[in-house]
Structure 1
Amino acid sequence: MPRLDGQELIRRLRAWRPDLPVVVMTGFPPPDGAGALQSGTAPLRLLTKPIALGLLVATLWAVAGRG
């Protein structure tokens, strides 16, 4: 994203809706992992590219509270 990094996007979204579940897909994960991106207590999962389709689907179901 040219003007906004993922961490700032998560912060802004969670300021608007603190319970928003987030799935982050990145080719360059932060050194501290998902903890570096977490703000609040809502679910957050960090997936590193390349991502197997099955893992992506399972993660989306889990974060949505259906898996």
Structure 2
Amino acid sequence: MLDLFFAMALSAAPLTLYLPPVRSLNLFVETMEFFVREITGLHAHRAALLLRVGFRRIISFLFQSSR
């Protein structure tokens, strides 16, 4: 009987007790968007630098081999 009571009590609890308020979710989403923008910005900058170095090496190799 006690098991049935706890099962009914826990199933009747509103979901809002388990979910954070929307205000907290907005701050969390905003923070995650900021981190994603920062990370992708850093990776894009590094990728551009690596492409530039690679292009210079290819051009340098072609120039030296044509001598």
**Higher strand content, 1 or 2:** 1
Q: TM-score range by the shorter chain?
A: under 0.3
Q: Flag the structure with more relative contact order, 1 or 2, with Cα contacts below 8 A and sequence separation at least 6.
A: 1
Bigger CA radius of gyration: 2
**Higher helix content, 1 or 2:** 2
